[in-house]
């Protein structure tokens, strides 16, 4: 299955043109270990700053 992951965090090293994420895997966690009820309560642990 082909998937496109979009991201507009352009200072992440996995950010590619067209707001596409080039990471091989994506790891998203809920904040503070709680069950998330909407996207505002999640964080992308895949983020790495661009050098």
Provide the pLDDT for residue 3.
85
Per-residue pLDDT of 9-51, as tens digits, reads: 999 999 999 999 999 999 999 988 788 999 889 999 999 999 8
Q: Residue 2's pLDDT band (boundaries 50, 70, 90)?
A: low
Identify the residue whose tokens are 């080039």: 22
The helix/strand/coil state of 32 is: helix
CB 37 within 8 A of CB 49: no
CA distances from 47 to 1, 40, 43 (A): 24, 16, 9
Encoding tokens for residue 13? 């090293």
Q: Residue 1's pLDDT band (boundaries 50, 70, 90)?
A: low
Task: Give CA–CA dist 16/5, Å, rounded.
Answer: 10
């Amino acid at each position: 299955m082909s998937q496109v992951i979009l991201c507009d965090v352009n200072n992440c090293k996995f950010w590619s043109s067209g707001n596409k994420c080039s990471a091989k895997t994506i790891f998203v966690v809920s904040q503070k270990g709680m069950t998330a009820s909407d996207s505002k309560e999640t964080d992308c642990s895949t983020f790495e700053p661009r050098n």
